[in-house]
Structures are given as structure tokens and as C-alpha cells.
Amino acid sequence: MKLTASISNSFSRSQVAERTWPIVIDVSVAGALLAGFYLMLWVAHSWLHSAIPSVVIHRSPRYLPGYALESTARIFIAYLLSLVFAIVYGYIAAYNRRMEALMIATLDILQSIPVLSFLPGVMLAMVSLFPSKQIGVEMGAILLIFTGEVWNMAFSFYSSLKTIPRELLEACSINRFSRWQRLMQLELPYAAIGLIWNSMVSVASGWFFLMVCEMFPVGSTHFRLPGLGSYLQTAASKGDIGAIVWGLATMMFIIVLTDQLLWRPLIAWSDKFKFENVESAQRITSPILHLLRNSNMLQYLSNRAFLPIQESFYARLAHGSQRLLPAAEAARKRRKRIPIAFVIVIAVAAGVAGVLAFHAALLLKSVTMHEVLQLLLGAAMTFLRVNASLLIASLWTIPVGVAIGFHPKLANVAQPLAQIAASFPATALFPLLVIGLMNLGMGLGVGSIALMLLGTQWYILFNVIAGAMAIPSDLREVSGLFRFSNLQKWTTLILPGIFPYLITGLITASGGAWNASIVAEYFKIHGTTLRTLGLGAQISAASDRGDFPTLLLATIIMAIMVVTINRLVWRRLYKLSETKYRLDG
């Protein structure tokens, strides 16, 4: 009788739990949606009042929640803009053969231009568009963060599109998928793993450059926005160790919270898009994703709203593609001719570029030959530091990234730690690093390599993790069945499998190292400016004193060097990854 009563009680408790738990999930989801809506209203109200380009930054910890919300909003708005840009730009570059070479060259140039080189033009343009509203200054800061987040995502999506297995593309053609269907059902899912991991490092890069983007001078005007970046920069300039600790603790809390609420669920969700025939026994798990999948409210919205709309949309696309098939065939035959509108657009763009180049040449007339030689010497020194940082980063990120990608349990622990380390504003601790190196007899030249390493090694690590996770489980099982040695696994499975992702990581890390040189070679502390010979230091100094001719010439030299390296080295490796190391069945 006691056993029967015990079983009955436990059964009734499980029934109550089954009825209660979905209600708790639905209430939590509804609360999160309402909180997000309120935050949107709060940010909009904060940004639409009268312009205050230079606010007072308080170092009291009680101001940190507001500063944290402001910075988080800027970073994720910049991330959403970066995601849309990366998908559109990468799609056009991958499938438009006429524009591909030009677009990738442009992407090479843009990713190599430091944030401070965008700063004067972006801020002046945004303030001119919204002269009496705070949103002008805010949009300027968001666009600056955007320039630090977007390029590796665009490269990742472009690389994924170029390495889609041929049989999947042929299946889409046989089933006459429209471009939208192919994007939603093949291209985005196939690129999801790389895009998510590059999104993580992009957001981390946004946190890294936050101190530069929220508090900076443009000529005689000093812009200062409320946020964690300006809080940390103010605390560092005043030598307030307590405020620095509070600011860094707040930033780490936001990073961990973002990892658990956003990145971990996305990584676990994207695991289903691996290109494999045998399902892996080990998967990355996420309690948040489990809760969302068991939410009655979300399932109801999906079944009653999203799925019917999606099915209706795809049905219309299918009928439309059948009707337009003869016209599409005729258009494909006419495609050999160059449209007149295209020629006109190219001519207008060339004319505008010519006028801008002429005015830029006039601006550069004031630069002396001595200054040109100093810039070239600085470019050579920065080139050596960039390559040293890439070499050091590759030595540890490749084996560690493969280990994390192959072991989901290790990824559950290491991924948030890597996210914190990648997001950590190394500039806040750079004074201690420089002092320690000087005590060891080394100067800022070595310290700048360390800061470049802290800012760029994560591009390689996160891409290697994505590449290791994307390797099909059946290939790994085959290597185990044939008892490959460690050397054989690395040469026949791991390195070929991660090669496209590794090249993407190295290209973006190279551009990121050049970009990081602006803070690695030129640093202010306690009213003293520490600098070493380098192109990044020359760009930072020119921005500080409003020397636009030198700033323009230094940016041009940096872009030329990066593009030349990409043409001679990285693009050839990219082509190799698209041909020899693509994953075909």
C-alpha cells in the first residue's frame, strides 16, 4: 500500500510539473519580449532628445546599469547592420562574376582601414544630418562600431557560398528553387555555423573598440557618449582602479549573459546544419534553446502564423517561377549583352571617383617628402608587427580551436571563456603590460605586438572552432575506424577540413591587426602619450591634431599594403579552398 501511494504521489507531482512548467516558460518568454520592447522605447527616448555631444561621465558604480544598456544597444544595433550588410554583400560578390573581383578588393581595402580613419568623416556626416538631435552622434558611434564588426562576417558568408557542395546546388536547380528559396533553405543554413562564430568575434571586436568609439576627439571637438567605453576610458585616464574593476566586472557580466541567452542557443541550434550523413553522438546543448522549443506560446505562433505565411509565400514563388520560366530563359540569352543602365551607372561612379580622387590629390599636396618617408618606414615596422602577431596567434589558436570544435563538453566551458577574453578591452590593462615590459627592458614596440595579438587572435580561434565543428562526423568516424595516427588525422582530415575557415580567420585577423595598430602603437595614460614608430601611431597622432592630409595618406598606404598582401597571398589560398578543399560528396 505504501509503495502504491508513493507511486501515485510521484505520478501526480509529475503531472503537476508537466502542466506548470510550460506556463512558466511562456511567462518567461512574454516577460523577455516585454522587457525588450521597453528597452527599445528607453533607447529611442534617450537618443531623440537634444544633442549633447560631450556628456559628463560619472565614475560612481550606480551609473553603470544605464551606461551598460547604452553600450549594449550600440553594439547590437551595429551587429544587426553588419549581419544584413554581410549577407547582401557576400551574396552579390559570390554570384556576380562581373563584380566579384572589384567587390572583394573593396572589402580588402575597407577591412584594413582603421576605425579612426573613418571617424572624422562619419561623425561630421552624422552630426550634419541630425544637427539638433542626439541620434546624430549616436549613429556616428554605431557606424564606427559597425566598421569594426562587419568585415569578417562578410568574408565568412562569401567563403561559405563559394564552398557549397555541388550536389546541393544541383538539387536546388533540379527542383527549380527560386533565389529566395535557395537562400533560405540552402545558403543561409550551410553558412550558419561560420556566420554565428564570426558574429561572436564581431561583437567581441565591438566591445574591444568600445573605448575608442564612445570617447574621441575630432579636431577641436571632443565627443563623449554615456557608455561603458567612455566610463572605462575616464577611469583609466584618472587612474581610478576601483572604477576600472567595476566597469570590467559589468562588461564581463553582460558578455556571460549574452553568451547564455544568445550565442549558446544559436550554436546548439546551428548544429543541425552540419553537412553529414551520420548524426554525431555528442552535441552542444543549451537550456535556453530547450525552453524555447518547449514554449507553448512560441509553438502556437509558429503553427498558426509563421508556418502558414511561409507556406503561402513559397507556393506563390513556385507558381511565379513557373509563369516566368520562359521569360527567364529569354533573359538568360540576353545576359551576354551589357545593359545600357549598367554602363551609365559605372560611368557615373567612375566620374564621382575621379572627382574625389582629384580633390584627395589636392589635399595631399601639403604632405612633404620627409613625412612620406616617415610614413613608409612606419608602414614597414607595422607590417613586421602584424605578421609576428599572426604567427604567434596561429601557433596556439589552431590546436586549441580544433580541440574545442571536436569536443562539445569542452566547448560548453571554453566558449564563454573565449568570448570573455575576446571581448575584454585589452587597452584598459595595457598600461600595466607596458610597465611590466619596460621593467624587463622591452619597450612599446614589443608591447604593441602583444596588444595586436590580444585583439586579433580571436578571429583565427573562432573560425577554426567553426571549421572543426563543421567537419562531418562520419569522416571523423572513418578516420577512427582506419586508426589514423595523429599526424595522418591532421594532414588528411583536420587541416583540409578547416582550411576555408582558417583562411577566412587569417585574412580578417590580418586586417584586424592593422586596425588594432591605431591603439597598439599610440597610447595615452596620465596625460602622457606613449608611442612607437608605426603607421598606426601616425594615424592616431594625425587624428588627434586634425591633420587630415597625413591621415588620408597614411590610410591609403595601409590600404595598399593590405590589398597587395591579399592579392599575392590570401586570395590564392582562398581560391585553393574553393577548389581543392571544398566539401563535395
Task: Summarize the confidence of residues 34-50 as an average pLDDT.
Answer: 62
DSSP one-letter string for 340-354: HHHHHHHHHHHHHHH
Task: Assign domain 48-282+368-579 to its CATH architecture.
Answer: Orthogonal Bundle (1.10)
Q: How confident is the model at residue 16 (pLDDT cuts 50, 70, 90)?
A: very low
Give yes or no for a contact between 389 and 458, defined as CB atoms under 8 angstroms apart: no
CA distance 6 to 22: 25
The pLDDT assigned to 6 comes to: 47
Give the pLDDT band of residue 289 (cuts 50, 70, 90). Answer: confident
Name the nearest CA neighbour of 198 among 158, 165, 164, 154.
154
pLDDT at 10: 47
Domain chopping of the chain, boundaries: 48-282+368-579, 338-365
Residue type, 28: S
pLDDT surpassing 60 at residue 416: yes
- 418 HSE (CA, 13 A, CB side): 27
pLDDT at 118 over 50: yes
Rounded to 5 degrees, φ, ψ at 223 are -90, 135
The listed range with the strongest mean pLDDT (15-19, 40-44, 400-404, 511-515) is 400-404
From first CA to last CA, the distance across the chain in angstroms is: 62
Does position 88 have pLDDT exceeding 70, yes or no? yes
Kind and range of the H or E element at 523? strand 522-525
Q: Is the pLDDT of residue 152 over 70?
A: yes
Say what the pLDDT of residue 317 is.
Answer: 61
Task: Assess whether pLDDT exceeds 60 at residue 122.
Answer: yes
Is the pLDDT at 485 greater than 90, yes or no? no
- Give CA–CA dist 105/100, Å, rounded: 8
Q: Does position 89 have pLDDT exceeding 90, yes or no?
A: yes
Alpha-carbon dihedral sign for residues 128, 134, 140, 143: negative
Rounded Cα–Cα distance for residues 136 and 127 (Å)? 5
- The Cβ-side half-sphere exposure at 310, using a 13 Å CA radius, reads 10
pLDDT category, 160, cuts 50, 70, 90?
confident
pLDDT, mean of residues 23-41: 64
Closest of 214, 217, 218, 253 to residue 232, by C-alpha: 214
Confidence of residue 141 (pLDDT cuts 50, 70, 90): confident
> So what's the pLDDT on residue 22?
59
| Strand partners for 54 | 224
Residue 491's CB: how many other CB atoms inside 10 A?
A: 12
Cell numbers placing 261: 541567452
pLDDT, residue 5, reads 44
Angle formed by the axes of helices 188-208 and 241-258, nearest 10°: 170
pLDDT tens, residue by residue, 233-247: 788 777 778 888 888
pLDDT for 392 equals: 92
Kindly report, residue by residue over 299-353, the tens digit of the pLDDT. 766 667 667 776 666 666 656 555 554 554 555 555 555 567 666 766 776 776 6
- Composition of the chain by helix, strand, coil, percent to 5: 80, 5, 15
The residue that leads in pLDDT, 231 or 294, is 231
pLDDT the model gives residue 3: 44
pLDDT at residue 4 is higher than 50: no
Confidence band for 427, pLDDT divided at 50, 70 and 90: low
Region 208-215: what's the mean pLDDT? Answer: 73
| Residue 441 confidence (pLDDT) above 90 | no
Q: What is the mean pLDDT of residues 440-448?
A: 72
pTM of the model: 0.74
What is the mean predicted confidence (pLDDT) over 362-370? 76
pLDDT of residue 8: 47
